Amino acid sequence: MTVYRFFLLGFLSIALAGCGSGAGQGDKSDNAPTVVGGVVSQAEFVRDIEAVGTAFANEQTVITSPVTERIEKLGFSDGDIVRRGAMIAQLSRGEEAADLTAVEARAREAEKKLDRLVSLQKRGFTTNAAVDEQLALRDSARAAANAIRSRISDRIIRAPFDGVLSLRTISPGTVVTSGSPIATISDISSIKLDFTIPEALLTSIAKGQVIEARAAAYPDQIFFGTIDNIDPLVDPLSRSITVRAKLPNNSRLLRPGMLLTVRIVSETRTGLAIPETALITQGDQNFVFVVDKENIARRTTIKVGLRSNGMIEVLDGVTRGTRIVADGTVKVRDDAPVNAVMPDKKSPEKSSAASSSDAQAEGTDR
């Protein structure tokens, strides 16, 4: 019995030693995690400025009544597009018309009397003083007539420039007081877009620079314009500066008061690039796992720049063509082996499994 027990213990020890050796080999193989590989490439990076602005009409004013009077006629409908000088409203002018008739009659009479005095003067039957006095009376009558004509003209309200009129809020027959609004006219053939940027970005913009604007009403459309002016004053509270851009609006899609998002491309350059998923950030330092010829991943410090379209610009630390871990960095340890699979290549494990599957299928067919 003792010999049997001794033999059994020896056999178990050998078996366990064999199992331990096999497990160690398996662990070594499993220590190389499969990750997505990649190489440092080149890409175009864009530095842009984003802001939010408000649209204003190129020109806009409220047309008001110059006098207190009753409206006889309105010359526009809701939202009409009018030309400069078009009649907007006509106020009552009956009293002024009657006054003009009387003054014009007085001016004609003064003109006739002046003609008679001039004729008598030539024959020596009247004095120069009488002629001068009548001349003054005639000129006074003419000036009074012109003044009345001006008042009549004020009662015909016209468009000061080409534009689109607001909705009507008054009707013919309404009595309006001096300064009362008749309509709002807006020139929206182009749009002024005002927005603010931090003062630190002042050197990144200039007059004539192209901007892109988007409106919530037209999410798939980009409106292009140029910077027209930059406010010379910086807001001391917000430390921001107001920028005004001009946008053509021939289609009249943009309306005053709209909120638009603005994008300004201030710089475009080409540089080394890595995917965002490859970057490891710890505090103020940035790293990437570089894969050497022996498939060992080594954490390497890099200096990053701009970000664009899922790529990060690398300013220092790696060179073009360097193999890196593009995705799956959480599974990687420094100075440890990895199985970096390029996106256009199959994983070795998958290839072996596929080959084994094909072999089994071929044996079954036979």
Q: Bridge partners of 210?
A: 226
* Residue 64 burial class via C-beta count within 10 angstroms: exposed 0-12, middle 13-18, buried 19 and up: middle
What is the model's pLDDT at position 30? 55
Lowest mean pLDDT among 264-268, 284-288, 347-351: 347-351
CATH value at residue 71:
2.40.50.100
Look at residue 38 and tell me if it is in a domain.
yes
What is the model's pLDDT at position 306? 87
What is the model's pLDDT at position 366? 41
Confidence of residue 361 (pLDDT cuts 50, 70, 90): very low
Could you give the number of structural domains in the chain? 4
What is the model's pLDDT at position 13? 42
What is the model's pLDDT at position 272? 93
Look at residue 314 and tell me if it is in a domain.
yes
Look at residue 360 and tell me if it is in a domain.
no
pTM value is: 0.64
pLDDT beyond 70 at 346: no
Asked if 87 contacts 77 with a C-beta cutoff of 8 angstroms, the reply is no
Domain span including residue 212 = 50-57+188-268
Confidence of residue 314 (pLDDT cuts 50, 70, 90): very high
The answer to whether residues 97 and 144 belong to one domain is: yes
Which is nearest to 244 in space by CA: 213, 219, 218, 266?
213
> Between 24 and 89, where is the model more confident?
89
Asked if 41 contacts 323 with a C-beta cutoff of 8 angstroms, the reply is no
How is residue 70 written in tokens? 């009753």
- Measure the CA–CA gap between 320 and 290, rounded to whole angstroms: 12
DSSP states of 223-269 = EEEEEEEEEEEE-TTT-EEEEEEEEE-TT----TT-EEEEEEEEEEE
The answer to whether residues 97 and 87 belong to one domain is: no
Look at residue 299 and tell me if it is in a domain.
yes
Which is nearest to 168 in space by CA: 99, 107, 88?
88
> Each residue of 69-119: pLDDT tens digit?
899 999 999 999 999 999 999 998 878 888 888 888 888 998 998 888 888
CATH value at residue 141:
1.10.287
Identity of the residue numbered 241: I
What is the model's pLDDT at position 53? 96
Asked if 103 contacts 143 with a C-beta cutoff of 8 angstroms, the reply is no
Confidence of residue 274 (pLDDT cuts 50, 70, 90): very high
The answer to whether residues 175 and 240 belong to one domain is: no
The answer to whether residues 253 and 281 belong to one domain is: no
The answer to whether residues 162 and 87 belong to one domain is: yes
> Helices 128-154 and 94-122, interaxial angle, to 10°?
160
Considering 268, 302, 327, which residue would you say is the last residue of a domain? 268
What is the model's pLDDT at position 64? 92
